[in-house]
Amino acid sequence: MADQSAKDLTRVKLWDPALRLFHWSLVICVGAAWYLGQFGPNIMTLHFYAGYCVIALLVFRLIWGLAGPAPARFSHFIYGPKTTFGYLAGLRKPEPSYWPGHNPIGALSVFAILAVLIAQTGSGLFADPDDFINVGPLADQVSAQANRRASQIHEIASKLILLLVVLHLFAIIFYKRYKGEDLIKPMITGWKWVRKSN
């Protein structure tokens, strides 16, 4: 808690157990699905199963974002341009933000990751690749052109997921090394130091 008076801070229970379980389950399932999709066996049954798990987790997160505890709700971390640019202006300061939840940049990251994962899993359901083996379970419900488009989206989204994961890891390292703020521990314990004024 360097450069911040202890009297200005309070330790709060921020992330509920269901949200923390979702987060780490998503890490495992997305990692497994991506790896199996890139380097797995030719018949990608395990890749499909990992994808189904991601879909189930996304459904949970969408429900939890509307009906979960306040810090987990999407309405809790939707920020306007003024707040976002204000946060960006202070980002260069080498001190923790003590933000009560997802900060404006973290919020953008959450929405970007969810959007890309929805596109990735949704396209996977309808994809019909050239191998004619690893066909999505709903591929026969749409046209061949839609199958090709779904396969293209699936391929592009896999690259975007990798990019977003790398940016996410970079942000964790940046906050830890430069700003002295641990983003991992609160997602394990649920507890976080925040400013009392927020």
* Tens place of pLDDT per residue across the chain (198 aa): 445 556 789 999 999 999 999 999 999 999 999 999 989 888 889 999 999 999 999 999 999 999 999 999 999 999 999 999 999 999 999 999 999 999 999 999 999 999 999 999 999 999 988 766 789 999 999 999 999 999 999 999 999 999 999 999 999 999 999 999 999 999 999 999 998 864
138 in a domain, yes or no? yes
CA-CA distance, 143 to 166, in Å (whole number)?
35
Are the CB atoms for 7 and 194 separated by under 8 Å?
Answer: no
**Does 69 fall in a domain?**
yes
| 147-175 residues labelled b (16+ CB within 10 A) or e (exposed) | beebbebbeebbebbeebeeebeeeeeeb
Residue 109 belongs to domain spanning: 6-195
* Longest CA–CA separation in the chain, Å: 64
Domain count of the fold of the chain: 1
**pTM tops 0.85:** yes
Residue 1 belongs to a domain: no
How many Å apart are CA 125 and CA 74, to the nearest integer?
26
What's the CATH code of the domain at 150? Answer: 1.20.950.20
Q: 3-class DSSP state for residue 138?
A: coil
